[in-house]
Amino acid sequence: MRGLRLVPSGVNLGFISKKLLFFVFSALLILGSIGLFASKGLNYGIDFKGGIMIDVKTPQAADIGAMRKTLSALGLGEVSLQEFGAPDNVLIRLQKQDGGEKAQQTAVEKVKQALGGGVEYRRTEFVGPKVSNELFWDGVSAVVFAILAILVYVWFRFEWQFGVCAVIALVHDVFSTIGLFALLSMEFNLTTVAAILTIAGYSINDTVVVFDRVRENLRKFKTMSMTELLNRSINETLSRTIMTSVTTLLALLALYFLGGEVIRGFSFAMIWGVVIGTYSSICLAVPLLLYLNVGRRGADSAAKEEAPGEEKAEQAP
C-alpha cells in the first residue's frame, strides 16, 4: 500500500534555473521589511512598552471574550486577557496610561468597577519602561543567539558554506516576519518572539533535510554538475518537505481560527513562518551554495567518518 504523496514521484522542477528570480524576490522582501520597520515601526505590546498587569480569580470559569469586550469599552487603550494557569484565573494587561501613577490607579479602579463583585484580585503590578526595555532586548538577544547557535551547528554538521547559507535563509525569515507585523500593525510581544524562535527551528529543520541530501548526492555523483546536483537534491526531498509543511499548516490553521484571541498572533506568525521557511529552504538556501564553492572533498571525508565499514565493503572484490 502506497502512502499519500502530495508531489508525484520522479518530479524534476527547475528550481535552480529560476534562482535569480528567487533572489530578486527575497531581496525585495527583505528591503521592504526593513523599510516598513524603519518608517512604520512595530505595534509593540505591553511586554515591550510597559503597562498594568492585573491577576484576577473569577467565581467560575472565566468568559474571556465577554471580559475583553467589557474592558475594551472602558477607553483604556490596548487590553490583553489570557487564561493564567486555570480556567478561573485571568491575567489582564492594560497599556500604560498617560498621567503618572494616579492615572494608573484610576485605570485599575475602572477595571474593578467594570468586572463587578465576586472577583478576587490577586495582584496588581505596573510594568515600567525599564522592565519593558529589558524584555525587548532579552527577546532580541534570544533571536540572535539562536541564529548563531544554528550557524555553529550546521558548520560542524556539514561545512561552513552550508552554515552561511542556512543563516542567510534564517535572517530572511526573521526579517520578513517582522516586516509582515509592521505592515499589518499586529501586536508584537514576547509571544511573537517565541514564534520567531519556533520559526527558526522549523526552517533549519527543513534546510538540514535538503542539505543532507545534497551532501549524499555529492558523494554519489562525482561528475554531475553542481547545478544539476542541487536541483536533483531539492526534488528528491520535495515530497517530504511539502507534506511536513501542509500537515503543520493544518494544525496552525485550527489554532488560528479556533484557539482564541490569546494565541492568534502566535498562530499567525507561525503560519507565515512555515510558508516562508519552506520557501527559503528550497529556493534560497540551496541555490546560494552555487556561489560558495562547495566541494566534494568535505562530503567524502564525512562519508569516511560516518560509514568506514561500508566503504571497505564497497572496495572489497
Q: Which residues of the chain have pLDDT under 70?
A: 1-10, 129-132, 295-317
Q: Cell numbers of 54, please?
A: 492585573
Indicate the angle between helix axes 190-220 and 129-157, nearest 10 degrees: 10
State the residue for C-alpha cell 494608573: 104
127-185 residue pLDDT tens:
776 666 777 788 788 888 888 888 888 888 878 888 888 889 999 999 999 999 999 98
Q: Which residues pair with 93 in a beta bridge?
A: 53, 80
Q: How far apart are CA 96 and CA 74, in angstroms?
A: 14
Q: How far apart are CA 248 and CA 255, in angstroms?
A: 11
Q: Where are the chain's structural domains?
A: 16-41+132-306, 51-127
Tell me the pTM.
0.75
| DSSP codes of every residue in 99-112 | THHHHHHHHHHHHH
Domain topology for 16-41+132-306: Multidrug efflux transporter AcrB transmembrane fold (1.20.1640)
| Distance spanning both ends of the chain, measured CA to CA | 37
CATH architecture of 51-127: 2-Layer Sandwich (3.30)
pLDDT at residue number 7:
63
| DSSP codes of every residue in 227-274 | HHHHHHHHHHHHHHHHHHHHHHHHHHHHHHHHS-STTHHHHHHHHHHH
Check: CB of residue 203 under 8 Å from CB of residue 280: yes
Check: CB of residue 127 under 8 Å from CB of residue 50: yes
Does the fold of domain 51-127 match that of domain 16-41+132-306?
A: no
pLDDT at residue number 2:
56
